[in-house]
């Protein structure tokens, strides 16, 4: 049976412990500026790029780091989190393996605060994908969500399928796991899961959340 370990603590402090074993993959969604109110926008951008670099630097050379990020429309301008993630990934010396679009709303729908799609990006230092085993670049639905900023179930399922079929991953690590959607989906795919969450209530939920309950 797959196991799950959820740590109540800081995700960056966890990553600073050292590189993960080769069979570990990181799948996460870095916090939005609204979740780090102590920082102004330039400070959050710096934090975000540093965090992306730390995530990519924590996986083994043949391991993968996957990010699920939704952009923000704020004060009349667009905050492109995929661009910020790629700045950090480049600093860590990793290559982009895929960049998928996950639809949050049907095409043709106008949205205000958040775009109608999210980004799903995967990086690795040495792993390269076989073009013959490519998967869709656009996911038609994000799936059910445990909270407004969570990874949707459909996105989590697509990531787990990729990890099982095209990598050596046996453990999914989410250093910003929130209520644990990615951890629950990893266990459903018979992968072990490790989560880190700074909010005590969300960490407690992440210990028991299951795909069936969703």
17 occurs within a structural domain:
yes
Q: Is 185's pLDDT higher than 90?
A: yes
Domain membership flag for residue 213: no
> 40: which residues sit within 8 A by CB, 6+ positions away?
none
Q: What six digits make up the tokens of 36?
A: 């780090």
Confidence at residue 214, expressed as pLDDT on a 0 to 100 scale: 56
Express each pLDDT in 200-209 by its tens digit: 999 999 999 9
For residues 117-146, average pLDDT: 95
In a domain, 214, yes or no: no
Q: What is the pLDDT of residue 184?
A: 96
Is 135 within a domain? yes
Question: Per the domain annotation, does 140 fall within a domain?
Answer: yes
Banded model confidence at residue 213, pLDDT cuts 50, 70, 90: low
Total structural domains in the chain?
1
Looking at residue 163, its pLDDT comes to 98
Q: Are strands 117-124 and 138-139 parallel, antiparallel or unpaired?
A: unpaired
Look at residue 74 in the predicted model and tell me its pLDDT: 84
Q: Does position 148 have pLDDT exceeding 80, yes or no?
A: no
Confidence at 65, pLDDT banded by 50, 70, 90: very high
Reduced to 3 DSSP states, what percent helix, strand and coil does the chain have, rounded to the nearest 5? 35, 25, 45
> CA-CA distance, 20 to 7, in Å (whole number)?
16
- Model pTM greater than 0.75? yes
- How much is the average pLDDT of 55-69? 98
CATH of the domain at 189: 3.40.50.150
Q: What's the pLDDT tens digit per position in 153-168? A: 999 999 999 999 999 9
Q: Tell me, yes or no, whether 45 lies in a domain.
A: yes
Across the beta sheet with 192-197, the strand order is 4-8, 192-197, 171-174, 24-28, 65-69, 117-124, 95-103, 138-139
pLDDT surpassing 60 at residue 169: yes
The percentage of the chain sitting over the pLDDT mark of 70, rounded to a whole number, equals 99
Mean pLDDT across the chain, nearest whole number?
95
Distance (Å, whole) CA 11 – CA 77: 29
**pLDDT tens for each residue of 26-57:** 999 999 998 999 999 999 999 999 999 999 99
pLDDT value of residue 50: 98
Model pLDDT, residue 80:
97
Q: Are 15 and 58 in contact (CB under 8 A)?
A: yes
Give the per-residue pLDDT at 150. 81
Full residue range of the structural domain in which residue 64 is found: 4-208
Answer with the residue of higher pLDDT: 96 or 113: 96
Q: Residue 115 pLDDT > 60, yes or no?
A: yes
Q: What ranges in the chain are assigned the alpha helix state H?
A: 11-15, 41-58, 81-91, 153-166, 181-188, 200-208
């Amino acid at each position: 049976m797959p196991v799950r370990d959820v740590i109540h603590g800081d995700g960056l402090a966890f990553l600073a412990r050292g590189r993960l074993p080769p069979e570990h993959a990181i799948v996460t969604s870095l916090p939005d500026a609204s979740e780090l109110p102590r920082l102004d926008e330039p400070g959050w951008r710096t934090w975000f790029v540093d965090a992306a670099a730390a995530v990519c630097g924590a996986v083994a050379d043949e391991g993968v780091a996957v990010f699920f990020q939704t952009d923000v429309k704020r004060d009349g301008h667009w905050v492109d989190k995929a661009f910020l993630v790629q700045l950090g990934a480049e600093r860590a010396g990793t290559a982009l393996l895929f960049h998928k679009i996950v639809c949050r709303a049907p095409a043709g729908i106008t949205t205000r605060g958040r775009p109608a799609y999210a980004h799903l990006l995967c990086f690795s230092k040495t792993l390269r994908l076989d073009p013959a085993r490519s998967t869709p670049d656009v996911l038609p639905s994000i799936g059910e969500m445990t909270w407004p900023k969570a990874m949707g179930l459909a996105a989590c399922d697509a990531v787990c399928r990729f990890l099982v079929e095209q990598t050596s991953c046996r453990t999914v690590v989410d250093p910003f796991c929130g209520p644990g959607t990615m951890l629950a989906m990893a266990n459903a795919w018979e992968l072990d899961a490790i989560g880190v969450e700074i909010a005590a209530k969300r960490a407690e939920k992440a210990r028991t959340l299951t795909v069936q309950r969703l």
